[in-house]
Structure 1
Amino acid sequence: MRRFFFDLMIGNIVKIDPGGMVFECPEATFVVANEMASHLFVWRDDLRDRDACIRVRNADGREIYRAAVWSENMAKVGWDEM
């Protein structure tokens, strides 16, 4: 099992994940990062129009994935606008 970190990136500001989570395979982190980004879109309307994403890093600090904070439809409609 390996540890992976999920940082919040807003433009060129990075909020580092200090503890991370343990996963058996790196591909599982992609699903988690996508879910985090989706939840942030719904609950953090201040991140919707900014260049925000969840960056996944391995224990060596190397970026392995990014999930953008966005809605699945083209209009970027949030839960409060449906």
Structure 2
Amino acid sequence: MHRFFFDLLVGNIVKIDPGGMVFESTEATVVVANEMANHLFVWRDDLRDRNAWIRVRDKSGREIYRAPVWAESGERVGWDQP
């Protein structure tokens, strides 16, 4: 099991995830980061039109993935809607 951190990047501001989460595989972190970004898109309208991302880091600080906080289509209704 490995610990990964999910930071929020908004423009040049970084909100560091202090505790992280433990996952067995790196692939699982991509799914979680995308879900977090979708949730933020729906519930945090102040982040929609900004350059916002969820960044996944491993314990050494290496960036693994970035999930953008914006919709791929304008039809998104809620964070739990496909």
Q: TM-score, normalised by structure 2?
A: 0.90
**2:69 corresponding residue in structure 1:** 69
How many angstroms does 1:51 deviate by?
A: 0.1
Residues 41 and 78, structure 1, Cα contact 8 Å, conserved in 2:
no
Q: Give the Cα separation in 1 of the matches to 2:60 and 2:18.
A: 14
1:19-53: CA deviations, max 9, x gaps? Answer: 00000001100000000000000000000000000
**2:50 corresponding residue in structure 1:** 50
SS at structure 1 position matched to 2:25: coil
Q: How does 1:1-82 map to 2 (within 5 A)?
A: 1-73=1-73, 75=74, 79=77
Residue ranges of structure 2 left out of the alignment (5+ in a row): none
Identical-residue share of aligned pairs (%): 74
Residue ranges of structure 1 left out of the alignment (5+ in a row): none
Q: CA RMSD in A?
A: 1.4
Number of equivalent positions: 78
Q: Which amino acid aligns with 2:55?
A: R
Q: TM-score, normalised by structure 1?
A: 0.90
Q: Give the Cα separation in 1 of the matches to 2:39 and 2:57.
A: 20
Q: Give the Cα separation in 2 of the matches to 1:41 and 1:17.
A: 18
How many angstroms does 1:69 deviate by?
A: 0.2
How many angstroms does 1:7 deviate by?
A: 0.0
